[in-house]
């Protein structure tokens, strides 16, 4: 009797390693870093833009205040000029054309005064909006003023 012990062992090993996998990971990491840098630059640009808008609107509001005061004085002056012209017309030293011109000047001054006040309100609301301080009470105060 002869016994043959025959044991065969087969071992197979398979590995799939892409040759450029490390390169794509590296490229994705570089792309993410570049996107992060770009996002940071965009944030800086937005912050600078908002600061410039706030500074510009602040100066504009300051100018609007002075313009409103000047337009109010112009309205008062135009009203006085109209009254003087009407008095002159009544005594015969002025003619009706001069009275009409004085009325037109008064109406123009009143229009300019109203426009200056409107510009002031709009610019003030924009300034508060960009500064982040616009509140519901500001809107309510504006509505109450308009009524």
pLDDT tens across the length of the chain (147 residues)? 556 566 666 767 776 666 555 667 778 888 999 999 999 999 999 999 999 999 999 999 999 999 999 999 999 999 999 999 999 999 999 999 999 999 999 999 999 999 999 999 999 999 999 889 999 999 999 888 877
Query: What CA–CA distance (Å, rounded) separates 47 from 50?
Result: 5
At 3 the pLDDT is 61
Burial 100-124 (b: 16+ CB within 10 A, else e): eebeebbeebbebbeebeebbbebb
Q: Is the CB of residue 36 less than 8 Å from the CB of residue 74?
A: no
């Amino acid at each position: 009797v002869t016994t043959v012990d025959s044991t065969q062992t087969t071992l197979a090993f398979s590995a799939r390693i892409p040759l450029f996998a490390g390169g794509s990971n590296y490229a994705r990491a570089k792309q993410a870093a570049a996107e992060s840098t770009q996002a940071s630059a965009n944030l800086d640009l937005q912050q600078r833009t908002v600061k410039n808008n706030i500074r510009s609107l602040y100066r504009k509001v300051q100018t609007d205040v002075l313009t409103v005061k000047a337009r109010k004085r112009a309205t008062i002056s135009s009203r006085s000029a109209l009254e003087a012209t009407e008095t002159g017309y009544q005594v015969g030293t002025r003619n009706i054309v001069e009275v009409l011109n004085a009325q037109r000047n008064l109406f123009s001054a009143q229009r300019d005064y109203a426009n200056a006040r409107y510009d002031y309100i709009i610019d003030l609301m924009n300034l508060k909006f960009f500064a982040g301080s616009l509140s519901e009470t500001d809107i309510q105060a504006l509505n109450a003023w308009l009524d």
